[in-house]
Chains A and B, each alone.
Chain A
Amino acid sequence: RKEVEQDPGPFNVPEGATVAFNCTYSNSASQSFFWYRQDCRKEPKLLMSVYSSGNEDGRFTAQLNRASQYISLLIRDSKLSDSATYLCVVNGDSNYQLIWGAGTKLIIKP
């Protein structure tokens, strides 16, 4: 099992719809979780950190499920500009190591 796994997609979603995708991780002791966004041929940028209690930032909601070892990202009222690859990042065994998923590609269609 990979340390961090994501469905590569692509998820093709009409504008205005709600879309959600998950990221599973193998290390039950992981403490830090992030979603980064990467536009085509651009560098990754932090979208949001994922807290134990879940957190929301506008149309984006991130949640952590420790029992099943996954984090999720929900996007409501999707916009064309949300089209990107969403990368999941989880800390590994050491105090500084972060493991990156391969990303989920999202395409929002008019």
Chain B
Amino acid sequence: EAGVAQSPRYKIIEKRQSVAFWCNPISGHATLYWYQQILGQGPKLLIQFQNNGVVDDSQLPKDRFSAERLKGVDSTLKIQPAKLEDSAVYLCASSTRGGLYDEQFFGPGTRLTVL
């Protein structure tokens, strides 16, 4: 079974530029998560989708970050404009239903460096 796919794996941009990340979850998984992981910290949830609806985006900096999950399958996360503090690994994960007891499966992440 194919895992969670993410692209690109690495991205280097200058501050104030825009960047987009793509995620394709495990087939059949209803729930998709985007996390930001800064070096030395645990993953921080940015947004959680259930099918193509948003369940939680309380920690998404909406003035610069946006995400969509069209057709309830793959998803994109965009940052516009980027700031230095956005340098982090952006992890996408999926789970079958998003329940409290469901395992989350992670993609390899996109390592973003903002100069």
Mark A residues whose CB is within 8 Å of B.
4, 8, 31-32, 42-46, 49, 87, 91, 94-98, 100-103
Distance (whole angstroms) from the CB of A3 to the closest CB of chain B: 11
Complex Cα distance, B109 from A43, in Å, reads 7
Residues of B near any A CB (own CB < 8 A):
40-45, 48, 55-56, 91, 98-101, 103-104, 106-109
**Is A100 within 8 A of B100, CB to CB?**
no
A94's closest neighbor in chain B, by CB? B56
Residue among B43, B91, B99, B106 having the largest count of chain A Cβ atoms under 10 Å: B43
Q: B101 touches which one: A8, A32, A102 (CB < 8 A)? A: A32
Main secondary structure of the interface of B (DSSP, over half): loop
Question: Which residues from chain B contact A100 at a C-beta distance below 8 Å?
Answer: 42-45
Contacts of B40 in A (CB 8 A): 8, 102
Query: Which A residues are in CB contact (< 8 Å) with B100?
Result: 31-32, 91, 95-96, 98
CA–CA, A45 and B41, complex, Å: 16
Task: State the CA gap A103–B44 with chains docked (Å).
Answer: 12
- How far in angstroms is the closest Cβ of chain A from B66? 21
